[in-house]
Chains A and B, each alone.
Chain A
Amino acid sequence: MLLSQLSAQASPLTPEQVQKLQALTAELNPIQQAWVSGYLAANANTAALSGQVAGAAPQAGEAAALTILYGSQTGNAKGVANQLKAAAEAKGLAVKLVNMADYKPAQLKKEKFIAVAVSTYGEGEPPEDAENLHAFLASKKAPKLDGVKVAVIGLGDSSYEFFCQTAIDFEERFKALGAETVVARADLDVDYEDHAAAWIGGAVEAFEPELKAQSQGSAQVIPMAGFGAAPAQSQYTKQNPFAAELSVVQKITGRDSTKDVRHIEISLEGSDITYLPGDSLGVYFLNDEALVDETLALLNIDGATEITLGDETLSIRTALIEKLELTQSYPGFVEKYAQATNNAELLKLVEDKAAMREYIEARQIFDIIKQNPSDISAQDLANSLRKLQARLYSIASSQAEVEEEVHLTVGLVEFDAFGEKHFGGCSGYLAHRAEEGVKVKVFSEHNDNFRLPSDDNTPVIMVGPGTGIAPFRAFLQERYAREAEGENWLFFGNPHFTQDFLYQVEIQGYVKSGLLNKVDLAFSRDQAEKVYVQDRLREKGEEVFAWLEKGAHFYICGDANRMAKDVHQALIDIIKAHGGKDDEQAESYLKELRSNNRYQKDVY
């Protein structure tokens, strides 16, 4: 609906409010309007939590819009989709951003402009959220898409054989249905960021003329994603993070645990960063100075040597500590480093994907350099490395309780290799190298696909083994603060009860206070037979199904590769056993839940 057509009769606003809104809107450019729209929704969300705001929001009319579909496993494709959305909106284009998991395939025949951002994992498999659409496009039910313009960007890991296969599939299937690509597909590796930005620019440029031609040319009210829209955009972003004080780093596994999990508290004081339960926090970290110095010494590079990174000039040492990725290895680095050092053995690896994959899986970038020391200039070394990526962590707190703090639950990545202890880049920084009181650069990343139900009376089932507990701690804090009446059921698991019961005392408190109605625990290694959360779900199958039938929302957080799949299968089995359904009916039962935002995942 166009704002100029908005009247008091057709809206819940008074005539004066309509006038004021029209006056204000006239002054705003599309970006500002988008921001206001998000801001107002979040404001309504946190204040009233009624869910009515989103429903009352005007929908995009007949005007042409770019539909951005994303299928993300770790959040990268989603991030790219968001950037594309922002770039398109900056050009005044109307945009619909939809997770493929939430997209109704029947909608396809109404689309004119489609952009796809999708990752690939495993042996060329689509991420779970993309599975249905991926299959639908290849099925007989897929509609003709003649005249539809598409653009596809793929994310993957070139060390895998079927690199960006899902993106390739999507593009081929769209083309087979008659759609036309407006810009060449990009298949991006783990160092995708800069390339993604370039591709986005090209794609927006390609879509812009026709989209504009088909639109009325008036300002559009940007449709909102639905209830639980992201809170106000902060000035602090991935590109412009906030230097926040790291106030608490506390190990929360017992002294005999095989895991080292840290409870992290960060102060957002002095920033305008806000977040909702379900959101993630991006964290930048510093690489290990000792390892950097060791590496520089090995390469005979003076740490003070100046280099340029983009338009910045700085010492190689500072660049290695603060700006460049030195832990997560990827084939692109091996290739560049091999070329820069003319290393025949590494160059051979570049030709053999399987060997490359095995090679980098066992090594951090530090290891590769240390095992292949060579004459290389500081600048060449910097050029062979990609920019340091922020790590995303599910937020473990609710601002309703912690106000200007943000809490994380971080599992320390640690392993022994080549006779030395190795740590994850960010987890190693937070757990070992950063001292309480230092500043860490952070930004919040909103996730509307992982939200508490708008209705406080709705029951929720939360399955969060290991550090998957994090967002549920946020949920519980939020529901406690809101005095939500809906029942809460938590499934948690880890190896040992005495060592790994994360937030045990808090959970006991929530049970005592009556907030948590049920808790089921699976400590896998406390008995001869291993027991996992999916086993506990099955044991309680009848009750789980009864909760779903009475409208419960079901959430999973944690390991994507195994746990989330096993829990999904357990749910299917439960629906079959207790709902009297066959496989297909059970799947569609879950699909229905998903499309009603009642089955949400935050997996990694």
Chain B
Amino acid sequence: MSTDYKPNSKLDPNAKFADNERLKTQSNFLRGTIEADLKDQLTGGFTADNFQLIRFHGMYQQDDRDIRPERTKQKLEPMHNVMLRARMPGGIITPKQWLAIDEFAGDKTIYGSIRLTTRQTFQFHGVLKPGIKEMHQMLNSVGIDSIATAGDVNRNVLCTTNPVESELHQEAYEWAAKISEHLLPHTKAYAEIWLNGEKTETTEEPILGSTYLPRKFKTTVTIPPNNEVDVHANDLNFVAIADNGKLVGFNVLVGGGLAMTHGDVNTYPRKADDLGFIPLEHTLKIAEHVVSVQRDWGNRVNRKNAKTKYTLDTFGTDAFKAEVENRAGVKFEESRPYEFTHRGDRIGWVEGIDGKHHLTVFIQNGRILDFPDKALKTGCRKIAEIHQGDFRMTANQNLIIAGIPADQKDIIEKIAREHGLIDDSYTEQRINSMACVALPTCPLAMAEAERYLPELIEKTEAILAKHEIPNDDIIMRVVGCPNGCGRAMLAEIGFVGKGPGKYNVYLGGNREGTRVPKLYLENVGEDVYLPALDELIGQWAKERNEGECFGDFAIRKEIVAEVKVSKTDFHA
């Protein structure tokens, strides 16, 4: 190990590390024995450490949980398959790439879908072991990889999609791509294993360290006033500061994160802290050293307390900031003012300052599939076949068809309408609701999310209509477990799965995504939370101030207490 570790002196040098640390250490820079597993015909799964190691290559082993009991009886192993999450900094994908992933999803995955995700990328669900190498080679042939989109590394870097301010976006996007490249693992394990690359020896990981990070690490580049990427869900955020439409530097926000563990009060969702402004030229250096301080100071004993947010709370944000400055040789300047006003995607057409047109289409649950009434996948493919611009996947799981010349507007609108990509009947409530994947594929899910959301929206719409505010909406998010993927812990109403049909209900987030909600109902089913919402929404409809959103109303009326400092307030 050549990486020069500088652990914080307060860390116990004799503490016993979590088992994941062992497996990273023994993995020969993420190779493990994955290749041997690929040859094992007896199982569709990966064994032991490889089960974890493939995450560093962008895959999760999953199985169809709906049929797990049935297959046990059939003396068959679970229907093992992998989910792949691509690395697409800023979520930009070309029509050529789209056509390639469309074909693979249709022909080679169990579910036949392209799933847009909150990490501003796409996922394939249900790839069987014999198809995995083929999948990576297909992606590689169109310039896509899935390196480090999961596991204890810096994952796919998000970037506000903002197609209107095209120049600013282009600059921000380029930084997102550069940061992503800069923080990638240096091991060539990915190419060796999946692309039949030449075998080389890896001797060090200069930035991530030979045992990689203590836990997952998420980064964004954000262009205010749109907070679609949800900065407070991320470890490291570069908030773009522009001067006359020209990017000049970033405010650096560190230590956001939403994951928690049911029943463990030492875990909590937490907002990011603003360390200050840096000019553009220091961007990569700061990114590298926020990572390196977290690498060295992060908790490798208890994975539940290993994320950057806990490192800040353990050692203090000031100490963390000082260490970053010290390592980078850069002082943070005073934060520049900025404001977030919204998070949602503006569904429909907009014209950019460069005269190009952009169509944002709402994709329910991000699931692009040919549904019986909506051939979304076919529609996207038909557009990709003629589209001259690119596609942008948003952190809200929607799709932007960006850079359309004026003369193609009509044909693209026609295709979009014919395939249900434009549907004027969608309410604001539906557009502002979100769910993670959960059952049947996610192994962590405790309750339904994606499959339940449409029904929950209908019930919520009925409540809104009953109280005569059918055009209003509440940012509502449903997740199958408390790990954070669907960002329920920044919603006005967040449902977090606890068991089949049971959720914890959190209230009090705001529209901009700058407040963590607080537990209102614990482990309850529809029979409890629907009447409760009915009453609260009724109250909101009657007693709210002008323009007051539901989350703010819940705080003002003290329906829940405001979470100001997560560590002390969230479980209070």
Contacts and interface: CB of A to CB of B under 8 A. Distances in A.
Contact of B75 (A497, A506, A526, A527): A506
Contacts of B42: 504, 507-508, 511, 519, 521
B75 A503 contact: yes
Interface string B65-96: 00100111111110100000000000000000
Contact of B76 (A252, A520, A526): A252
Interface in B120-177: 128, 130
Contact of A498 (B70, B73, B75, B128): B128
A243 to B, nearest CB: 27
Contact of A505 (B44, B67, B76, B130): B76
Contacts of A497: 41, 44, 128, 130
Interface string A481-518: 00000000000000001100111111110010000000
Contacts of A504: 42, 75-77
17 contacts: A252-B74, A254-B74, A254-B76, A255-B67, A255-B70, A497-B41, A497-B44, A497-B128, A498-B79, A501-B76, A503-B75, A505-B76, A505-B77, A506-B75, A507-B42, A520-B41, A521-B42
| B interface secondary structure, majority | loop
| A interface secondary structure, majority | mixed
Given A255-B67, A498-B128, A519-B41, A508 B77 contact: yes
Contacts of A585: none
Contact of A250 (B41, B67, B73, B128): B73
Contacts of B72: 505
B43 interface: yes
A521 B41 contact: yes
Given A497-B41, A519-B41, 10 more contacts: A250-B73, A250-B75, A254-B74, A255-B70, A498-B44, A498-B79, A505-B72, A507-B42, A521-B41, A526-B130
Of A497, A498, A505, chain B has the most CB atoms within 10 Å of the CB of A498
Nearest to A248: B73
B42 to A, nearest CB: 5
B75 A505 contact: yes
A250 B72 CA distance: 11
Interface in A249-270: 250-255, 263
Interface range on chain B (Cβ under 8 Å from partner): 10 to 19
Interface residues of A, number: 23
Given A519-B42, A521-B42, A527 B71 contact: no
A504 B77 CA distance: 7
B46 to A, nearest CB: 14
A221 B319 CA distance: 97
B465 to A, nearest CB: 40
B71 A263 contact: no
A503 B74 CA distance: 8
Interface in A519-540: 519-521, 526-527
A537 B428 CA distance: 62
Contacts of A253: 74
Query: Closest 3 interchain pairs by CB?
Result: A521-B41, A252-B74, A505-B75
A519 B40 CA distance: 10
A511 B43 CA distance: 11
A502 B74 CA distance: 8
Nearest to A521: B41
Contacts of A519: 41-42
Contacts of B71: 254
Nearest to A506: B75
A596 to B, nearest CB: 32
A250 to B, nearest CB: 6
A527 B67 CA distance: 24
Contacts of B75: 250, 252, 263, 502-506
Of A504, A511, A519, chain B has the most CB atoms within 10 Å of the CB of A504
A519 B39 CA distance: 12
A519 B128 CA distance: 20
Contacts of A263: 75
Contacts of A501: 76
B74 A251 contact: yes
Nearest to B81: A498
A511 B42 CA distance: 9
A519 B130 CA distance: 17
Interface string B36-53: 000001111000000000
Nearest to A527: B130
A259 to B, nearest CB: 12
A11 B41 CA distance: 53
A502 B77 CA distance: 10
A497 B73 CA distance: 17
Contact of A508 (B43, B67, B73, B79): B43
Contacts of A250: 73-75
A521 B42 CA distance: 8
Contacts of B73: 250
A501 B41 CA distance: 11
A247 to B, nearest CB: 14
A12 B215 CA distance: 74
Nearest to B74: A252
Contacts of B44: 497-498
Interface string B292-312: 000000000000000000000
A252 B74 CA distance: 4
A108 B67 CA distance: 60
Contacts of B130: 497, 526-527
A519 B79 CA distance: 20
A506 B77 CA distance: 10
A251 B76 CA distance: 10
A584 B70 CA distance: 51
